[in-house]
A and B are shown apart, each in its own frame.
Chain A
Amino acid sequence: MVVGFLVAAGLAAAPAVLPLFFVYLLALILVTGLLATSLNLVLGYGGLYQFHHGVFYGIGAYTAAVGITRLGWPAWLAFLAGPVAAAAAAMAIGFFCVRLSRLYFGMLQLSLGSLVWIVALRWYPVTGGDNGIHGIPLPAVLQTIPGAYALVACVVAASLAVLWAVVRSPFGLTLQAIRDNPQRAQVMGVDVRIHQLAAMVLAAFFAGVAGVLYVALERSVFPNMLFWVLSLEILVMCLLGGWFTFSGAMVGAAVLVGLRTLVGRYTEYWTLVLGVLLILLIFFLPEGIMGHLQRRWIWTRAPSPRPAAAGGTRG
């Protein structure tokens, strides 16, 4: 609780204290962190191999961008439409995917998500094709970095609060039970597929929120947001931070974005640094950064999941 308060205070003070570029960077980390946390809902808490979570992020962002620039919607409407569209997409894609398990779930989602990417890439009049859409007009208050940051910080904080509540709720606990042992959950009368689908839709909603926040911050959308490489990066953020913890995803996002921007200024081989870091992490901090920290200092009283069952039986 104390830590949470300190973090909140720090975030609120940031625009006054940090140079402008770092305020922007912090906002970007918050947006990416929200995206990663939404993935972790289905990945860490749900045990689903969501390999193409980025597609919901992209749909949220593109819906807002297309709404404002092509359909003339006011910003607030576009910002609401984004997450709703993402959730709807998750309903459609998820319906097909939850029938499969593990690697196959991930691969089907990858294929379907990539089809969305191709549509965005080819539909030049609407989506700007390979260019994306730039210079999206926004309300004046969002056109400054501190203004955009304020929106991002508030929305991210609220979203994380909702996600935290979901994870702690009966729904969240059922989801974790399904992750640990789907057969037992099924036998106990839990409709596994509905729960997994609901989790996907919820996760997609918040991914859409992250997408809309990206538009508020950068005023552009790019087809890369829908490409599988970004999805793999968000997955890595969750794993890096510790996918059995709630805050791990945000930490992972901070490390990745920070590394890319800050180390990228000194060397063009920042990906090498990241790669080495990941390899070291796996050997020395197998539960991810936050997972390790939490185990050292036993913050949470929630039972840690049994590692053997969580990933399915191995060998």
Chain B
Amino acid sequence: MTDRRWWVLVAAVVAVSAVAGAGAAPALRFDRNIKVGVVDTYSGPPAVFATDALNGFKLALQEINRDGVHGARIEFVTRDEKFSPEIGLSMARELVLQERVDVLVGILNSATALAISAFAREQRVPAFVWIAKSEDITGAKGHRYVFSTTENTAMAGKALAEAVAKKGFTRFWLGAEDYEYGHRITNSFWRFMKRARPEATLLGQTWWRTGEPDLVPYLTQIQQARPQAVFFGTGGAGMANVLRTMKVIGFNVPTAIHTAIDVTVLRPLGAAAPEGVFGTTDYLFYYPDTPANRKFVQDFQAAYGAPPGFPAFHGYITAYFIAEGFRKARSLDRERFVDALEGLRIPTPVGEVEMRACDHQAVLPMIFGVTRRDPRFPFLVGGDLVTLPGRDVMPTCEDIETARRRAR
């Protein structure tokens, strides 16, 4: 080799190394663990959902903490808000001010979620809502610091209404629990029903107190009014009661309830659950039957002795959003974390899920089905399943912007 070509070679090698060296980021290590505060309802009938979500969260953390996030593990503490928004707010305050958590997660009760969301905005702490479904959480009352990893009432109402509209019913009765979630889901179902089937009429509506133990007089009164179809807006506290009462009195009106086909609802009821109820959910442990889903279900079943329901799925993806958010942000700074989350996509047992940037709502599919017996299980499952992709049921970014502007 001539002298000049030798120098060109050396210069090229040096140049390439310099570029390569600059491109490779220095190894980053967080100087402390990431702390997550969980506020949820661990007493009473809703506890079964909250426990399911926490189990999903814990399963994900086991996987995540094997390698950690830039060397940091994710730790968590839990607080029971006993289905009271007042206690929930107080717990959130304690977690942020005293335990100094980086992120708040949890919340089943939509009213508590709104209270904690207002607090999160004030304190600038990111909060993930993983069960409470009021569309106001990411809609009219949404803001920079609140995220939702659960489907919301706008999505569920649309999916359920459009599917039920296809069945041809026109005379409806609405019954629901008198609290935030009950109002939102019922309102959402009805407005999408009117859009899908303008000739639908409302014969009447019945509202009962959340967690009302004796629903027999309410259901018998509805049956006597002879509607063609009924929608029930029941949440964590009342779901079991309404389904059980329907079966006991032989409620013979076609009924639609959101989450009626989910395993967390159907499993504890066993044979006491009624067949033929229409329902929607965003996750089922047996559908779609992909290898990733099967593995998730296997791991969950091995760890907790029961198949995962939608809360477990949400808890699981919340953990991964948090981990990937901090990983992408490369910092424990909350503002950078929030920025990193917007538009973030993570792999999940049922495919990729995106955290939509404009409203901080996870883009989740809705699955519609009907409850029926299955010889494989001692509880009812959903049959005749139809999936609607998330984008088709979510409100558009313009709708969100309008709603938030109107609320201000």
Contact = CB atoms under 8 A, between A and B. Distances in A.
> Is there direct touching of A and B in the complex, by C-beta distance under 8 Å?
yes
Contact of A131 (B42, B98, B111): B111
A4 interface: no
A300 to B, nearest CB: 35
Given A129-B183, A130-B111, A261 B94 contact: yes
Interface stretch (A17-25, A37-45, A91-99, A175-183): A17-25
A130 B94 contact: no
Contact of B114 (A24, A134, A143, A218): A134
B86 A268 contact: no
Contacts of B89: 218, 220
A131 B93 CA distance: 18
B86 A124 contact: no
Contact of B178 (A130, A135, A218, A265): A130
A20 B97 contact: yes
Interface string A222-266: 101100000000000000000000000000000000000100110
Interface residues of A, number: 24
B118 interface: yes
Interface centre among A20, A24, A130 (most CB of B within 10 A): A130
Contacts of A268: 42, 80
A118 to B, nearest CB: 9
Interface-central residue, A19, A20, A21, A143, by most chain B CB under 10 Å: A21
Contact of B210 (A19, A130, A132, A134): A130
Nearest to A218: B89
Interface in B112-171: 114-115, 118, 121-122
A135 B80 contact: no
A220 B111 contact: no
Nearest to A229: B84
Contacts of A20: 97
A218 B89 CA distance: 9
Contacts of A265: 94
Interface of B is mostly: helix
A135 B178 CA distance: 22
Contacts of B90: 261
B93 A135 contact: no
A121 B208 CA distance: 12
Interface string B61-91: 0000000000000000001100011100110
B122 A224 contact: no
A70 interface: no
A19 B110 CA distance: 31
A21 B99 CA distance: 10
B275 interface: no
Contacts of A132: 85-86, 111, 115
B251 interface: no
Given A220-B115, A220-B118, A21 B86 contact: no
A131 B180 contact: yes
A184 interface: no
A221 B95 CA distance: 20
Given A129-B179, A261-B90, A135 B122 contact: yes
A129 B122 CA distance: 23
Contacts of B80: 268
Contacts of B122: 135, 143, 219
Nearest to A118: B209
A131 B85 contact: yes
Contacts of A134: 114-115, 118
A121 B178 contact: yes
A131 B179 contact: yes
A122 B115 contact: no
Contacts of B85: 131-132, 220, 222, 224
Contact of B183 (A121, A124, A218, A219): A124
A21 B45 CA distance: 31
Contacts of B42: 268
A131 B111 CA distance: 5
A134 B94 CA distance: 18
Contacts of B178: 121-122, 129-130
Most A CB atoms within 10 A — which of B84, B86, B121, B178?
B86
Given A130-B111, A131-B115, A268-B42, 9 more contacts: A19-B98, A20-B97, A121-B178, A129-B180, A129-B183, A131-B110, A132-B115, A220-B86, A265-B94
Closest 3 CB pairs of A and B: A135-B118, A21-B97, A130-B179
